[in-house]
């Protein structure tokens, strides 16, 4: 049955404690994972917590990647949601396993936005982003 996107629920165990508590490194890893998967990055926002832990999001044209870290447990929860068929979210998930130095990765895959074939035979990825016109001189 046609669907709009894939949403991976990823759990990373045995990660590098130093990486999980370094907001710059976590942001770098998430950014690079999105690019590695072939996504188009639109924006990013990351927040560091006291005494430890990080939450963040990379907004991509194809949807998003989110992260929440628990350095005290060597654990990270990461979601990778992509729409369309051009990008495989598992590429980003595997990239992050190596980047975080995780000993174990578990992945649950959800297909999002189901349509019956009678409703639509072809599901376009999504409308093109509007181009803002800029006067460049």
CA distance 57 to 113: 21
In-domain check, residue 109:
no
What's the pTM?
0.83
Q: What is the pLDDT of residues 25-38, one digit of tens each?
A: 999 999 999 999 99
Domain count, the chain: 1
In-domain check, residue 26:
yes
In-domain check, residue 37:
yes
Instruction: Say which of 83, 118, 133, 134 is annotated catalytic.
Output: 83
* Closest C-alpha to 89, from 9, 23, 16: 9
CA distance 94 to 86: 17
The reply to whether 68 belongs to the active site is yes
Q: Are 43 and 59 in contact (CB under 8 A)?
A: yes
Containing domain of residue 38, as a range? 15-43+72-83+95-102
Instruction: Say which of 7, 63, 64, 134 is annotated catalytic.
Output: 63
Q: How many residues does the chain have?
A: 137
In-domain check, residue 38:
yes
Instruction: Say which of 16, 31, 55, 68 is annotated catalytic.
Output: 68
In-domain check, residue 20:
yes
In-domain check, residue 33:
yes
CA distance 11 to 4: 23
Residue 136 has pLDDT above 70, yes or no: no
φ, ψ dihedrals at 57, nearest 5°: -140, 140
In-domain check, residue 19:
yes
- Alpha carbon separation from 112 to 2, 4, 96, 107, 109 (Å, rounded): 10, 6, 22, 15, 10
Q: What is the pLDDT of residues 107-120, one digit of tens each?
A: 999 888 877 666 55
In-domain check, residue 122:
no
């Amino acid at each position: 049955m046609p669907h709009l996107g894939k949403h991976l629920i990823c759990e990373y165990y045995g990660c590098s404690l130093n990486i999980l508590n370094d907001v710059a490194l976590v942001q770098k890893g998430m950014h690079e994972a999105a690019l590695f998967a072939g996504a188009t990055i639109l924006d990013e926002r990351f927040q560091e917590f006291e005494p430890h832990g990080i939450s963040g999001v990379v907004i991509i044209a194809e949807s998003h990647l989110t992260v929440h870290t628990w350095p005290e447990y060597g654990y990270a929860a990461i979601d990778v949601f992509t729409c369309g068929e051009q990008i495989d979210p598992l590429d980003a998930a595997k990239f992050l396993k190596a980047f975080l130095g995780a000993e174990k990765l578990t992945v649950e895959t959800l297909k999002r936005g189901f349509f019956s074939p009678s409703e639509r035979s072809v599901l376009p990825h999504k409308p093109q982003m509007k181009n803002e016109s800029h006067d460049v001189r």
